[in-house]
Amino acid sequence: MNRKSPARRRPSSLRVAAAGLVLAVGLGVSAQGSAQASVHTVAKVPAAASKSVTAVKPAAAAPKSVTGTTGQVVTRVADFYGAYIDAKGDYENPDAALAKALRTHYLTPDFAKRLVAWEEKNGVDGVLRAQNVPTRWTVKDNGTLGHSHEVTVTLTFGSGRNTQETKLFVLVERYNHISDIATQSAH
C-alpha cells in the first residue's frame, strides 16, 4: 500500500491514546470557558415575535475534573485502574498487550506471579476480581502500613438499579509498585 492509496491504515493504540488526551485537554479548556459564563443567557427573539416572550437557555453543566499529583500513591493507583479498565473495557477491540504492559509497569514482579496463579485458580481477572469490566470506579486513600500504603478501590459493575460494588484494598510498596490486591483491608 502506498501513501496515496485510499485504503486507511489502522492507527496504533499509542497514537489513539495521544489523540484522546489532546482532545480531552482541548475539550476541558473549552468546556471550562463555557462553564464560566453566566448561569442563564437570554436567547434573542426575532423582531417579528412578541416582545414579551423571551427564551431562557439553561447553563451548561460544569465540566468534571480529575486532579493528580506525581508521586502520590492514590493518583498512581487511580492511573493504573483507569488505564487498565480502558484497555480491558473496549469490547470491540480490547488491548490485551496494553493490559499486560500495565501490569508489568505497576505491579511488583512477585505480586504479578502470585496474581497469575490466583487468576488460574479462580477463573477471573485478578486486578478487577471479576470476569467483566466495571462501569465506574473510585479510588481513596486508606492510610500507611509500615513502609507501604493502602488504597481502597471501589468498582461498580452494571448500571441503573442493577449495580454491584466490589471493594478492593490495594497495597502499594514504598517504591510505588502494587504489591497486593485483596478484598479485606490489612489494617
Residue 130: beta bridge partners? 125
What domains does the chain contain, in order, with CATH numbers? 69-182 (3.10.450.50)
pLDDT at 69: 82
Amino acid code (one letter) for 34: S
pLDDT at 57: 61
Cell of 36: 464560566
Closest CA to 156 of 169, 131, 140, 138: 138
Q: Tell me how crowded residue 145 is: count the other CB atoms within 10 A of its CB.
A: 13
Q: Would you list the DSSP string of 20-56?
A: HHHHHHHHHHHHHHHHTS-S-EEEP--TTS-TT--EE
pLDDT at 43: 41
Give pTM, 2 decimals.
0.67
Closest CA to 43 of 57, 59, 22, 28: 57
- Encode the chain (187 residues) as per-residue pLDDT tens digits: 444 444 444 445 544 444 444 334 344 443 434 333 333 434 444 444 444 455 566 667 788 878 888 889 999 999 999 999 999 997 788 999 999 999 999 999 999 999 999 999 999 999 999 999 999 999 999 999 999 999 999 999 999 999 999 999 999 997 889 999 999 998 8
For the stretch 16-37, what's the b/e string if a residue is b when 16 or more beta carbons lie within 10 angstroms of its beta carbon?
ebeeeeeeeeeeeeebeeeeee
